[in-house]
Chain A
């Protein structure tokens, strides 16, 4: 033991095992590094905790909608103010929808005013066959219904209305439609650019091209949206001659510009990280550079390319400002690309500021937020699983 200590103190070979100030190994050996390491760990953990908390907050705000605990029916039983004393405190509390704590500290006058407001609300209910419906239930959120004044059963999103109509199907289709256009436009361009830059171009050209494409990512989406609103919309309308100036097509193309750098950057990295020896072997066997890139390198990089496309999808479906400005925001249910469209993100951005906090509209917007979160989460999960499978397959396991 003593000998070993002597050796470890003196032997230059073992010197690197002796820590800071010549102390033992472990956390006492390099306390500063240990501290920094733990600090970084806490920081990285806090990001995960933060994301989890954000999801928890969004989901909790939306929970009553998911569980069907909301009721916005305009026809509700009212009790005249004079009858206040005949109710037991518990009945009164439940009638006014108060928590026990709120109820305990509330003066009689306020309770009376609350009862008056209930009656006012009921008296303002429109004379309409739909007034008694609870339009926040899943039946009206997802299925078409023939509302008063409409000729047929329709999917209608009209949250500010006498009868609030919260059908989310037009918004879901709007989001998907715009994302689809964006991906159809951006993925071929971004992939083409990535293949060219990583496989075919001269190194000098590559040095300029790569940062130039990635510069696109630095354009704030509000600037992109403004550009689409003012310039692209007019140009595209002149070129294609469709009726509404702002539509899915314009928004999708503008969105595509935001997606290109994401897809390009990751796909390019994936293609570059395929060992050069693959290309060299292919070239040595007599293939052209194009054949090597297309038939050897691209298949080998497919998991990375797939990941790039999925990230592009996440970016496109979550992007708000571009679609808010360029899509026209009309909540029509149609698959026509030249109709205006309203996406989930734009709806939340445009409407949340004016909703009554904890009201029905507010909760439904949070429900949309939760759905968006879930969609991106599932997309990422699927991408991850597929990538792992592909990798195993490519590596021959």
Chain B
């Protein structure tokens, strides 16, 4: 089995090198959160540079990192930072740490049903709700009704981000229902008048976005481009692209630069994410 695996991985590697060595062809793989944006970037860029071919696939941040290790992709999209274990695998495979590029900002909204009278919640309240300490809407200023918590699958970068930044690393309530994607989560919340869920601010038709307070005393803030880019809206994150430093030259470097240029960042806005502040673009 060991030898089979080795043979197989060398086969895959030669295949990967063979495809990426082809002139002007870039493969991109990874986060599902980023996949729509990455496709749009590729489309616009290929329209300008006819000799470059860019191939984008999703699958999840972890899938992107695995492909980066096996050298079957040039760029890995991610909605979370690379983990030490994945850096270790990269080092074993190509001897260098992958280079990290921040490519845009994303705000996370908290949704409730349109019928729900609650308009705003604070981060500590959200923590209590999603860890299962609060089980009734009346404890956070709503009607006397049991809360239904909707969460994402734990393979999602959004899940991890929310857990780390809103739940302070605590576990989600075991009773939280997990949905396979932001769209289906939104569906569920829209249909459930006692439901609450979270997801990218770019989504949101059908349900109500809550205003978020950093703590009880601070003002309630709506997720908009201005508040996310300034950092006043409390739940936001970076989205990343990782690359093997040995490949970060020529076409690929040019593409990465373009992504972070004004032109690339304009595409970010069109898709519904938020552009990088100027000081992060280098």
Binding site for B on A (CB under 8 A): 56-57, 60, 98, 102, 106-107, 109-110, 113-114, 117-118, 120-121, 124, 126, 147, 149, 154, 156-162, 165, 170, 229-230, 234, 243-246, 324-325, 328-333, 339-340, 342, 350-357, 359
Contacts and interface: CB of A to CB of B under 8 A. Distances in A.
A150 to B, nearest CB: 8
Nearest to B150: A328
Interface string B164-193: 000001111011111110001001100110
A350 B88 contact: no
Given A159-B154, A356-B62, A350 B92 contact: no
Contacts of A339: 175
A109 B171 contact: no
Contacts, number: 121
Contacts of A324: 180
A357 B174 contact: no
Contact of B89 (A124, A353, A357): A357
A244 B60 contact: no
A7 B177 CA distance: 82
Nearest to B31: A354
Contact of B171 (A165, A230, A234): A165
Which of A114, A160, A229 has the largest number of chain B CB atoms within 10 A?
A160
A160 B159 contact: yes
Given A110-B91, A353-B62, A245 B188 contact: yes
Given A162-B169, A354-B154, A357-B66, 13 more contacts: A102-B92, A110-B96, A113-B95, A113-B97, A117-B91, A156-B171, A244-B148, A244-B175, A245-B188, A342-B178, A356-B85, A356-B89, A359-B85
A330 B175 contact: yes
Contacts of A126: 169
Contacts of B91: 110, 113-114, 117
Nearest to A154: B174
Nearest to A60: B1
A194 B79 CA distance: 52
A107 B95 CA distance: 8
A102 B6 CA distance: 11
Interface in B106-135: none
B72 interface: no
B177 A244 contact: yes
Tell me what chain B mostly uses at the interface: helix, strand, loop, or mixed.
mixed
B63 interface: yes
A351 B154 contact: yes
A113 B179 CA distance: 38
Nearest to B155: A354
A332 B174 contact: yes
A388 B191 CA distance: 51
Nearest to A165: B171
A19 B104 CA distance: 76
B244 interface: no
Given A353-B62, A356-B83, A246 B171 contact: no
A234 B146 contact: no
Contacts of B63: 353-354
Contacts of B66: 356-357
Contacts of B192: 245
B191 A160 contact: no
A179 B188 CA distance: 24
A329 B178 CA distance: 5
Contacts of A117: 84, 87-88, 91
A331 B188 contact: no
A156 B174 contact: yes
B107 to A, nearest CB: 22
A149 B170 contact: yes
A234 B156 CA distance: 26
